[in-house]
Amino acid sequence: MAYMVFARKWRPKTFDDVIGQEHIVGTLRRAIEKDRIAHAYIFTGTRGVGKTTIARILARALNCEKGPTPTPCGECAICKDILSGQGFDVAEIDGASNNSVADIRELRENIGYSTMSGKYKVVVIDEVHMLSTAAFNAFLKTLEEPPPNVIFIMATTNPEKIPVTIHSRCQRYDFRRVGTERIAAHLAKICEAEGMKFEKGALILIARKAEGSVRDSLSLLDQACSFCGDNLSEKEVRSVLGLVGTDVYRGLMKDIREKNQSDALGSIQKALFDGYDLHEFIMGLQEYLRNLLFARIPGALEARGIDLEAEEAKKFADESKEFAETDLLRMAEIAKKVEMELKWSAYPQFLVEVMTLKFLYLDTSASIEQLLKFAAEKGGENTAGLLAPGSEGVKKKTELTPAHKPKPEVPANAINNNNNEHVDKNISVDGNTAKTEPMIKTLVNIFDGELL
Ligand SMILES: Nc1ncnc2c1ncn2[C@@H]1O[C@H](COP(=O)(O)OP(=O)(O)OP(=O)(O)O)[C@@H](O)[C@H]1O
Ligand SMILES: [Mg+2]
Ligand SMILES: [Zn+2]
C-alpha cells in the first residue's frame, strides 16, 4: 500500500479516539442518543484540531447500519465509505473555491435529492467564511429549513466573518487547541503502535512546536521520523525542528553569570548565524528559565510534566543555585516582554541584544538587598522589614498608580516624612530619627521604578 502520512493514517475513527475536545464529543454523543441532532452546526477552531474528523464521525454515527449510535461500527460499507472520505452521505465542499451564489444554488439542487444509502446526508462546508455575502444570503433559506435528514456542518477558522443571520440558525461548537501534554501522550501511543522508540522529551518538543494542532504534531512527527529513523532522540528532534540546543542557553547563562558581555552578545550572534529563528530562540530561552526556576523547588519539574534525564535535572538544579530567584523571575519577565514585542519590531535582533544586556546588568537586585541591609544598620532595625517585599510599606507603595502618585513621598507607614518637602531631610523611621541618607533616596527611587 502507498505510504500514508500519520495525520491521515491516524484520523480518529470513533469519538473515543478524539483527544482534547471532550466538551464537543460529549454533547454530540448525547444528542445522538436522545435523537436531538440539529440540522446546522458551525465548527470553529484553529487548523488540525478535529473539525473535519468529528464531522465524519458524526456522519458515520448517524448512518452506520447499526445506528444512529454514538459508537459506529466502522465495519459496515457505509462506515468504510465515510471513513475514506468517499461516501455519498458525506459531501465535503471547499467554501473558499465554491463561494458564489451559483455554487450555493448547485449545492441546494444536489441535496434536494435525498440521501441514497444512508439515513442522513452530512454536508461539510470547509472555510465557510470565504462565501460571498450574496452566497450567504442565498444559503439562508436552505439553512433555516433544510431538506429532511440533511445536516450542514460549517467549519471555519474565522467565525467572526460569518454573518449573524447564519450564526443564529446554527449551533456553534468551539474547538480547543489541544494541550502539549495531551498531544505528547497521543504521539507516544502512535509511536508505540508504529514500533518506534522515542525519548519523551522529543515528543514534548514536537507537541510544543505544534501549538495545539494535532495535525501539525503528526506532520512534524513524520518529518522527525524521516530524519531520525525509528529512534527519536530529543537532540535530533531539536535539530530537525530548528530548535536551539540547551547547551546554547547554558552557555549564555554562564556568560551572564560571569558578566562576560562580549561572549553573551556573541552567542546571540552565533545563534543567528546558525540560522535559528529569533522567536524560536526566545521561546527556548523561556523554557530554559522555567526549568531553572522549577529546579529550585523539589518535585516541581516532575509535577509540571517536565521529564528530564537525571543528569540534566541535576545540571539545572546546580545552575539555578548560582542565580538569585528574583533575578530568574525578572529574566523570565523580560524574555516574555521581548517575545511579545518581537513580531512588531523592525529590528528584532537589537531587542534580543538589549535583553541580553539587561540580563547582564541585573545584579541591581543584589544591591537592593545590600541597600536594605545597610538601611537596617544605619536607619533603624525596622527599615529592612518595612521595606521588604510584601510588607505593609511596600504594599502601600505598589497600590499607588502613577497618575495619582504623590511626588517623592515615602510609603506612609514605612517612613514618616516630617518635613513634607523632600525625602533626604529628616527622616523618622518608626520613631527613630535617621540622619539624611542619600541611600534612602535611592531606595525611594527604586520603589518608584519597576521592582519585583
Ligand atoms: N482532536 C483530535 N484528536 C485526534 N486526532 C486529531 C484531532 N484533531 C486532529 N487530529 C489529527 O489531525 C488530522 C486532521 O484533522 P482534521 O481534518 O479534523 O482537522 P480540522 O480541524 O478539520 O483542520 P482544518 O481547519 O485545517 O481543516 C486528523 O486526520 C487526525 O489525524
Ligand atoms: Mg478540516
Ligand atoms: Zn457502521
List 429's β-bridge partners, or say none. 432
Instruction: Report the candidate in 320, 332, 421, 326 with the shortest Cα–Cα distance to residue 372.
Output: 326
Q: For residue 303, what pLDDT band results from cuts at 50, 70 and 90?
A: confident
Mean pLDDT along residues 225-229: 88
- Sheet containing strand 432-434, edge to edge, reads 416-417, 427-429, 432-434
Average pLDDT over residues 330-357: 92
Residue 356: band (very low, low, confident or very high) from pLDDT cuts 50, 70, 90: very high
CA distance 310 to 133: 59
Phi, psi (degrees; rounded to nearest 5) at 367: -70, -25
Which pLDDT tens digit goes with each residue over 159-174? 999 999 999 999 999 9
- Ligand 1, atom 12: closest residue by C-alpha: 215
Measure the CA–CA gap between 288 and 238, rounded to whole angstroms: 14
Mean pLDDT of 25-45: 93
Q: What is the pLDDT of residue 399?
A: 47
Q: Is residue 47 lining ligand 1, measured as CB closer than 6 Å?
A: yes
Q: How many whole angstroms from 19 Cα to the centroid of ligand 2?
A: 16
Q: What share of the chain in percent tops pLDDT 70?
A: 78
Confidence check: pLDDT of 430 > 80: no
The more confident residue out of 371 and 50 is 50
Of 147, 128, 146, nearest to 136 by C-alpha is 128
Class of domain 180-240: mainly alpha
Ligand 1 pocket member 18 (CB < 6 A) = yes
24 by Cβ neighbours in 10 Å (0-12 / 13-18 / 19+) ranks as: buried
Q: 36 CA to middle of ligand 3, Å?
A: 20
Q: For residue 155, what is its C-alpha cell?
A: 467549519
C-alpha cell at 65: 447500519
pLDDT range class, residue 219, cuts 50, 70, 90: very high
181: CA distance to ligand 2 center in Å?
23
Q: What's the pLDDT at 270?
A: 85
Does pLDDT of 364 surpass 60? no
- Quick check: 394 and 387 in contact, CB under 8 A? yes
The predicted pLDDT at position 285 comes to 94
pLDDT score of 113: 64
Measured between alpha carbons, how far is 266 from 211 in angstroms, rounded to an integer? 30
What is the residue with the minimal CA distance to atom 7 of ligand 1? 50
* Mean pLDDT in residue range 288-304: 84
User: Which of 11, 60, 186 has most ligand 1 atoms within 8 Å of CB, for mutation?
Assistant: 11
Sequence spans of domains, the chain: 6-174, 180-240, 246-360, 380-448
Instruction: Please check the confidence at residue 205 and state whether its pLDDT lies above 60.
Output: yes
Distance of CA 231 to the CA centre of its chain: 27
Q: How far apart are the C-alpha atoms of 15 and 62, rounded to whole Å?
A: 13
**Phi, psi angles (nearest 5°) of residue 136:** -60, -45
For ligand 1, whether the C-beta of 215 sits within 6 Å is yes
pLDDT for 358 beyond 80: yes
For residue 106, what pLDDT is reported? 85
Looking from the CA of residue 20, the nearest atom of ligand 1 is 1
CA of 261 to the centre of ligand 1 (A): 47
156 lines ligand 1 (CB under 6 A): no
Q: Which pLDDT value is given to residue 275?
A: 79
**Whose CA is closest to 231, among 189, 204, 191?**
191
Name the CATH architecture for the domain at 246-360.
Answer: Up-down Bundle (1.20)
Contact 60, 78 (CB under 8 A): yes
Task: Give residue 228's identity as a one-letter amino acid code.
Answer: C
Summarize pLDDT for 50-74 with one digit per residue, the tens.
999 998 899 889 888 887 899 998 8
> Which pLDDT does position 306 carry in this prediction?
67
Q: Would you state the cell numbers that stand for residue 341, as one nine-digit string?
A: 514585542
> Is 91 in contact with 116 (CB distance < 8 Å)?
no
Report for 123-137, 185-199, 240-254: range of highest mean pLDDT = 185-199
Convert the pLDDT of each residue in 372-396 to its tens digit: 776 777 665 555 554 555 554 444 4
Least confident of 81-90, 125-134, 347-356, 375-384: 375-384
- Rounded to 5 degrees, φ, ψ at 188 are -60, -40
Residue 416: DSSP 8-state: E
Q: Virtual CA dihedral for 22, 28, 31, 36, nearest 10 degrees? A: 150
In this predicted structure, which of 13-17, 47-51, 78-82 has the lowest mean pLDDT? 78-82
Average pLDDT rounded to a whole number, residues 226-242:
88
Task: Give the span between the Cα atoms of 22 and 50, in whole angstroms.
Answer: 11
Ligand 1 pocket test, pick from 24, 52, 220 with the greatest ligand atom count within 8 Å of Cβ, gives 52
DSSP state at residue 128: G
What DSSP letter does each residue of 80-104 carry, written as one string? HHHHTT--TTEEEEETTTS-SHHHH
Among 22-36, 299-313, 435-449, which range has the highest average pLDDT? 22-36
Average pLDDT over residues 250-279: 88
Contact 109, 125 (CB under 8 A): no
**Do the domains 246-360 and 180-240 match in fold?**
no
Give the pLDDT score at 432.
43
Cα–Cα distances in Å, from 111 out to 121, 263, 307? 8, 68, 52
Per the structure block, which three cell numbers stand in for 452?
A: 519585583
User: Residue 336: pLDDT above 70?
Assistant: yes
List the CATH code of the domain at 6-174: 3.40.50.300
> Using CA atoms, how far apart are residues 111 and 206, in angstroms rounded to an integer?
42
What's the gap in Å between 86 CA and the centre of ligand 3? 15
Greater model confidence, 233 or 407 = 233
In this prediction, residue 217 has a pLDDT band, given cuts at 50, 70 and 90, of very high
Residue 117: band (very low, low, confident or very high) from pLDDT cuts 50, 70, 90: low
Question: Can you tell me the mean pLDDT for 109-138?
Answer: 80
Question: How far, in Å, from the CA of 45 to the mean position of ligand 1?
Answer: 11
The secondary element (H helix, E strand) that includes residue 139 is: helix 133-144
Res. 222: pLDDT tops 80: yes
- Residue 194 pLDDT greater than 90, yes or no: yes
pLDDT digits (tens, 9 = 90+) for 437-446: 555 555 555 5
368: DSSP letter: H
DSSP state at residue 131: S
pLDDT at residue 244, as a whole number: 84
Amino acid (one-letter) located at 207? A
Measured between alpha carbons, how far is residue 444 from residues 381, 394, 448 in Å?
A: 18, 10, 6
pTM for the model stands at: 0.71
CA 104/CA 139 separation, integer angstroms: 6
pLDDT at position 116: 55
